[in-house]
Amino acid sequence: MKLLRRHWGKCLAITIGIAVALPFVVSFWAAGEIASPPRRQLQDYHREYLSAPEKHGMTIRSTTAPDGTPYLTCLPDPSGHLGKRGTTIRSELSALGYHLPQAGTTDGTLVLCHGRKGRKEDYFSIAERFCAVGFRCVIPDFPAHGDHPGDIATYGVHEGAIPAMVLRASAQKYGFSPEPAGLMGMSMGGSIAMHATGEPGAPWKALVVVSSFDAFRSALDAETTAHAGIFFGSFCANATEHIYQRRSGLSF
């Protein structure tokens, strides 16, 4: 009986210790996942686009901006050749009564902003459709994603200047007018796009945001819950926020 009580006491102490420590461990882990999510590697379909962009009606140019941001510039194939997606989107828009520019020509530029855990190459299939209807697309990697040298994601707070910067860099390098220009972003990219519209001298004439958020704290709470579960997520949110702020230098 004494042996049982002794072991029961140790088990209870260990259980209490784990219960106390676990929220802090979960908070550190969640903050790390939010600040520096696992980087998505190039996929086979990315390589297929890169190796034969002409099959998709595009020319793809890979460049690095002066601040180290890698970006792609996707242009309509000057021959007017279209890929499968381009042919479909032109047919659908024409059926709706839209007057489209001649295939292979360019009327404006769109900067496409990828989401969390994404990378610039994820937007190839979207860029193919935009190129088919007269847009060139500039697609950067954002910090802590893809090939960007930065290791902390701030979901638009510090990335808001990147879209206009890569637009100017691409326009200067490839000799086109940076205007008219629009923005499209999904999830984290939508938040970055919204921040970009508030930058001084922002050139944007259009903004498309898909499945994004307007307040970072609500997004942080959702991400913490997604990583830690409903019970621990709600319990750990404040600690996760504090740890993330220390890592990122942000102040909410």
pLDDT digits (tens, 9 = 90+) for 215-251: 777 777 777 777 666 666 666 777 777 777 777 777 7
Please list, in sequence order, all residues whose beta carbon lies within 8 angstroms of the beta carbon of residue 127, skipping any fewer than 6 positions away.
58, 72, 74, 112, 137, 139
* Distance, CA of 39 to CA of 122 (rounded, Å): 13
* Distance, CA of 57 to CA of 76 (rounded, Å): 6
pTM of the model as a whole: 0.86
pLDDT digits (tens, 9 = 90+) for 97-141: 999 999 999 999 999 999 999 999 999 999 999 999 999 999 999
Instruction: Please list the residues that pair with 64 across neighbouring strands.
Output: 70
* Distance, CA of 195 to CA of 242 (rounded, Å): 22
Task: Tell me the domains of the chain and their CATH numbers.
Answer: 1-35+215-252 (no CATH), 41-214 (3.40.50.1820)
**Do residues 86 and 56 make contact, with C-beta atoms less than 8 angstroms apart?**
yes
